[in-house]
Amino acid sequence: MRRLRYGTFLKYWNRKWTLVLKFRSQSEFAQCDICQELKSQYQNRNLCMGDRLQALKLYRTHLVSQYADRCSFWSLKDVAADQLSRILVLATDGADQAKYAIPRSPGLVHAHRAQKLVRPRLKLHAVWSFAHALRICVLDETTFHGSSMVIQALAMTIEDSMRIAGSRGAKPDTLAVIGDNTVKELKNGFCLRYLLSLILHKRLKCLRCI
């Protein structure tokens, strides 16, 4: 198979897709605490060369481990698509509420009269069950969106996925859950107890949280 040259990709991207799909600028992504700390250390001219090199080494190790994390995520996606693997892979995340204040139309948002309005914010949380289902929950700003909301979204997605997988052949017996470090919503005792209860009630044999 011939590989597409990067120049060709850019040519077609600029001709057609750049008007439809927009890349977010780098400044719109939050930087993780470890990256920020190590970068400020190796850029600090007041530190000695040895300390700066050590910070750079740690930064590169951190980037390699982040990439390894992404690789395991991508391979789990592939594994989930194989019915015989019997592994259910769920990824869950929520969007920043500030991005979902309504109205969202750029014309209205920038209108002078609209700037005086209090724009209600929506909470958006999604659970993606690879190869099976995508559940997107949209909640009012006032709805409590702690771990109970995440557990409900996970439970409903697991139920849907089990039904879909059952209709296609074998039901999964292993669950992998991928999520970020939000202690309020996901990485806490409530969610972990819920996931462990799936094993206690013999709905699953094995659990892996990433």
* Given 9, 12, 13, 35, the residue binding Zn ion (CB under 5 A): 35
56 binds Zn ion (CB under 5 A): no
CB 161 within 8 Å of CB 129: yes
124 binds Zn ion (CB under 5 A): no
Q: Which stretch binds Zn ion (CB under 5 A): 21-29, 35-43, 118-126, 201-209?
A: 35-43
Residue 171 is classified by DSSP as P
The whole-angstrom separation of Cα 18 and Cα 20 is 5
The whole-angstrom separation of Cα 111 and Cα 64 is 45
Residue closest to 71 by CA, chosen among 178, 187, 155, 170 = 178
Q: Which stretch binds Zn ion (CB under 5 A): 12-20, 24-32, 104-112, 198-206?
A: 24-32
CB 52 within 8 Å of CB 41: yes
* Given 34, 101, 108, 164, the residue binding Zn ion (CB under 5 A): 34
Indicate the length of the chain as a whole number: 210
114 binds Zn ion (CB under 5 A): no
Q: Which is nearer to Zn ion, 45 or 70 (CB)?
A: 70
68 binds Zn ion (CB under 5 A): no
Q: Which is nearer to Zn ion, 35 or 138 (CB)?
A: 35
Burial of 143-175, coded b for 16+ CB within 10 Å and e otherwise, reads eebebebbbebbeebbebbbeebeeeeebbeeb
The whole-angstrom separation of Cα 50 and Cα 42 is 10
Q: Which stretch binds Zn ion (CB under 5 A): 28-36, 41-49, 82-90, 121-129?
A: 28-36
Residue 95 CB, nearest distance to Zn ion (Å)? 20
Q: Which stretch binds Zn ion (CB under 5 A): 33-41, 89-97, 176-184, 199-207?
A: 33-41
Q: Which is nearer to Zn ion, 18 or 36 (CB)?
A: 36
32 binds Zn ion (CB under 5 A): yes
Note the residues at the interface with Zn ion (CB under 5 A).
32, 34-35
